[in-house]
Amino acid sequence: MSNIGTVGVVGAGQMGNGIAHVCALAGYDVHLNDVSDEALARGIETIEANMTRQVSRSLITPEEMTAGLKRIQPGTGLDVFGKVDLAIEAATENREVKEAIFKSLCDVVPERAYLATNTSSISITRLAATTDRPEKFIGLHFMNPVPLMKLMEVIRGLATDQETYEMALGFADRLGKTTTNAEDYPAFIVNRVLVPMINEAVYALYEGVGTVESIDTAMKLGANHPMGPLELADFIGLDTCLSIMQVLHDGLADTKYRPCPLLVKYVEAGWTGRKAKRGFYDYRGDEPVPTR
């Protein structure tokens, strides 16, 4: 992809730092943006820790790690995005927040630059319509954790042109990702299937069908899932799971996508999973302990 040399990533959280990580290792210069120096410091610290882990497993060399880290330039301002060829938004799963980011990006990124969103559920067409270049806008949904997961969902909006789509395929290939094409419907493919399953597991807990531990054990040993659905929900973030269920419920108007009241209650309590140290498990001790 000779026309992509510099990538801007907005958001240094769980997804954003992972995207910056793989872009830097693939040889791209990366501008990593977030609202505070503290958030950026946490993001860079996570990238260093994850790259160190890759070195210890001989997945990358120490030289590749050093070169990759040098390619990442963190900052709280968007001015440097005036030099990017591709800007990827990886902020919280909230439509208003994402729309505000893209409006700000359009003021600074070059006319030639492509825009992409890492949204896991929100309409690509709707987000693209808030920009000055809907034809150069595309959905690039990375899986979490980004450095480990091989899949990238590529989602075209109604106005996305063929050149932008081909750019996305080439970009994914250079990152070592396998792509799957999803149509622009709520939650696309992975989360259209995965998150309702998680929501159903929360319903099973809510209705007393099983405990947190029994539900997760049943799915790990009975369905051969590497993580139980409630453990996975904590890893994803219960607030993200709730947002995706709300998008599905609103967008498809089907009661089968109604978020479980217990999921809503956990999010209201601020128990959003691993990042908050409490969710369906309590992570404040040496070992996770079920909270129900």
- Active-site amino acid positions: 120, 141, 153, 191
Question: Tokens 């949904």 label which residue?
Answer: 141
- Between strands 86-89 and 151-156, the pairing is unpaired
Of 133, 193, 181, 121, the C-alpha closest to 160 is 133
Q: How far apart are CA 16 and CA 90, in angstroms?
A: 5
Q: How far apart are CA 199 and CA 262, in angstroms?
A: 9
Q: How far apart are CA 218 and CA 202, in angstroms?
A: 14
Q: How many residues does the chain have?
A: 292
Q: Can you tell me whether residue 62 is helix, strand or coil?
A: helix
> Rg of the Cα trace of the chain?
19
Q: Can you tell me whether residue 86 is helix, strand or coil?
A: strand
45-73: string of b/e by CB count within 10 Å (b at 16+)? ebbbebbeebbeeeebeeebbeebeebbe
Of 140, 125, 93, 95, the C-alpha closest to 243 is 93
- Partner residues linked to 282 by β-bridges: 278, 289
- Geometric angle at alpha carbon 168, from 166 and 172, rounded to 5°: 120
